[in-house]
Structure 1
Amino acid sequence: MNRRDFLATSAAAAALTALAARLPAYAQEAGAAIEKPSLTLGVGGKPLLYYLPLTIAETKGFFEEEGLTVAINDFGGGAKSLQALVGGSIDVVTGAYEHTLRMQQKGQDIRAVCDLGRFPGITIAVKKDLAGEIKSIADLKGRAMGVTAPGSSTALMLQYAMVKAGLQPGDVSLVGIGGGTSAVAAVKRGEIAGLSHLDPVTSRLEQDGDIAVLLDTRTEEGTRALFGGTNPAATVYLRQDFIEANPVTTQRIVNAFLKSLTFLQTATPDEVADAVPADYHFGDREFYKTAFEKARPMYSPDGMITQDGFASMLSMLGTLEPAEFASADIAFDRTFDPRFVQAARI
């Protein structure tokens, strides 16, 4: 490249950088046209408390307040939502942050724009009648364990906990059991030895006396015990080409989710129970209120992912899949774009 070409390329790069920096501010201008007001959103297990900010945005009308019409496709697990986004059949996903790192490592530019959960909220547990035999993660070897879907965050965390306990990721058979009543039924029917799952499924089984908990990341204490730090969970993520082509739409999506997070910081359990479909209660409204209170600490207060959260996630992937991630060169700012959270006006 000669000097003239170098200078031209540098100038173009600087112009693009400046434009990118202005996108959120432009997106927040009063009356800015929404490029894509009708969207399709993917999620893997919508009734789960892991995805409660999405349900709140839907039922409280926060999407409509932002001028958006959002059709929600509920897939069997987060990995299937990711596949749909990559395939182009949906526009946006509420899914695990680790998917953005996986896609960046594969050369696919998918980025989170808002954090929903600062802790995974995943519990690893075994059937109560097996608690005498399975007293630790290491004792799971050779067992069949339920997850929302293979490749999902529930599967990933189970495998990570196994590796840290001296096992191999393949030492346990993963069985996809979905995210709602099907998961509860799988445990009660004895189809699996236990599960790596989320509330309200976990709390339902706990309250019914069906499981014994081995590891719990619904709290900061439990999360740090496993990961040594915070570990971002549910996020809102999109393809970078969508973000660039639709900055106003992206801003409005983030605005809606931040309204949900603000609501969840102060809402009473009754207000939350009122805001979700009755079938999310598993037939017991008081139970659902209790499950929400257990889960409340995991929701992000501000939508931001931190550098140490990214480092924790990358370390987890490096431990679990060293051939793929041990020396991975993934930049934090290619997995999370904070500009839309920073520019949001709630």
Structure 2
Amino acid sequence: MTRTLLNRRSFTLLAAAAVAVPALRAQGRPEKSRLSIAVGGKAAFYYLPLTIAEQLGYFKAEGIEVEISDFAGGAKALQALVGGSADVVSGAYEHTINMQSKNQFIESIVLMGRAPQIAMGVSVKSLPNYKGLADLRGKKIGVTAPGSSTNMVANLVLSRAGIKATEVSYVGVGTSAGALTAMRSGQIDAMSNIDPVMTMLEQKGDVRIISDTRTLKGTQEVFGGPMPAACFYTQVDFVKANPNTCQGLANAIVRGLKWLQTAGPSDIIKTVPESYLLGDRALYLASFNKVREALALDGVMPEEGARTALKALASFDPSIKPEKIDLSRTFTNDFARRAKEKYKA
């Protein structure tokens, strides 16, 4: 009798295990075990989830070796994807809309930022008597790279004051020490950039902030709704041919986002490369606290956010016709939802 019960119990446990194993292995091996990722300004908080996933070995845990190429701005990273030298880009979501308007289809597969984290400031030295946006006509405005999301935000802010992009000069200054130098040396009169650069300039009294999307509240004020920011995007054909690889990438990022939700200042300092601190650990951490809520929570793209992005782009770029853009083809939440399920609390 006892033996029968044991046998039945053993059989039940074995059967359960047999069911569980395929479920655990359901994702399958990545189709590409080595990937080239392009990013425009990797040291910025905008791309912190990418750095965390890389530094903590989350890509390797998914069976993927990543080679990350860092460019001066998001527009350059996009060029790498289009030119075929990168498989995936860690960049701004709105590029998927811009490219579709040119009949080229790229798709976001996991969201890293739920606010752009871009601040626009005027030089206290160059424009000490600044009174309003009209004062920027004919001035030089620093952006990470022409055509990048920092350029997009500047265009949007200026357009609301009736200033066209052709009425100012945009200068690519990158996202780190070069940007600080450009502002402090007087090479530019204003700047649209990301943290930690903008907080460093702000706290040292070099700039006066005139537009700020580093918080959810500020983003709502500038865009009128949630505005998705950094994501992994790639060619639609790549997603179709490499679903397991895309799932692995999404898993790594969502795991990184999960880690960031509970990470303290000392955890961040220990994890990011020393060069990211730009020589000022305290200001770096002050910057992180300012943008922390802008990081995505679970990698899922909000549909309302996609609509906000389209509306914003169309408001100053006449080449983008909202009625001709199919937002459902600019992102997929399939991978993020599976990753969210895998790493749920």
Q: Same fold (TM over 0.5)?
A: yes
Whichever residue aligns with residue 98 of structure 1, its letter is: E
User: Is 1:264 matched with 2:260?
Assistant: yes
**1:164 aligned partner:** 160
SS in 2 for 1:111: strand
Whichever residue aligns with residue 337 of structure 1, its letter is: T
Whichever residue aligns with residue 335 of structure 2, its letter is: F
SS in 1 for 2:283: helix
Give the Cα separation in 1 of the matches to 2:23 and 2:238: 14
In structure 2, relative to structure 1, the CA distance for the partners of 1:224 and 1:138 (3 Å cut) is farther
Give the Cα separation in 1 of the matches to 2:106 and 2:317: 20
**1:306 aligned partner:** 302
Q: Structure 2 length as normaliser, TM-score?
A: 0.90
Verify the 8 A CA contact 1:135 1:214 in the aligned structure 2: no
Q: Of 235, 242, 245, which aligns to 1:249?
A: 245
How many residue pairs end up in the alignment? 320
User: Is 1:65 matched with 2:61?
Assistant: yes
The CA RMSD over aligned residues, in Å, is 1.5
**1:330 aligned partner:** 325
**1:284 aligned partner:** 280
Whichever residue aligns with residue 212 of structure 2, its letter is: D
Whichever residue aligns with residue 186 of structure 2, its letter is: G
Verify the 8 A CA contact 2:311 2:322 in the aligned structure 1: no
Q: Of 122, 129, 135, which aligns to 1:126?
A: 122
**Offset of residue 332 of structure 1:** 1.9
User: Is 1:227 matched with 2:223?
Assistant: yes
Work out which of the two has the higher radius of gyration on C-alpha atoms and give 1 or 2: 2
**1:141 aligned partner:** 137
**Offset of residue 139 of structure 1:** 2.0
SS in 2 for 1:95: strand
**2:44 aligned partner:** 48
Give the Cα separation in 2 of the matches to 1:27 and 1:227: 42
Verify the 8 A CA contact 1:206 1:212 in the aligned structure 2: yes
Q: Of 172, 178, 193, which aligns to 1:197?
A: 193
Query: After alignment, is 129-138 or 279-288 more displaced?
Result: 129-138
**Offset of residue 28 of structure 1:** 7.4
In structure 2, relative to structure 1, the CA distance for the partners of 1:106 and 1:206 (3 Å cut) is same
Unpaired runs of at least 5, structure 1: 1-25
User: Is 1:87 matched with 2:87?
Assistant: no
Whichever residue aligns with residue 43 of structure 1, its letter is: V
Q: For 1:102-142, what per-residue CA distance to the aligned partner results, in whole angstroms no more than 9, with x for missing partners?
A: 11121112000111111110000011134543233332111
Unpaired runs of at least 5, structure 2: 1-21
Percent sequence identity over aligned pairs:
44
Verify the 8 A CA contact 1:27 1:248 in the aligned structure 2: no
Verify the 8 A CA contact 2:46 2:230 in the aligned structure 1: yes
Verify the 8 A CA contact 2:27 2:244 in the aligned structure 1: no
**2:338 aligned partner:** 343
Within 5 A, what are the aligned runs for 1:22-37? 29-30=25-26, 32-37=28-33
In structure 2, relative to structure 1, the CA distance for the partners of 1:74 and 1:28 (3 Å cut) is farther
**1:14 aligned partner:** none
SS in 2 for 1:325: coil
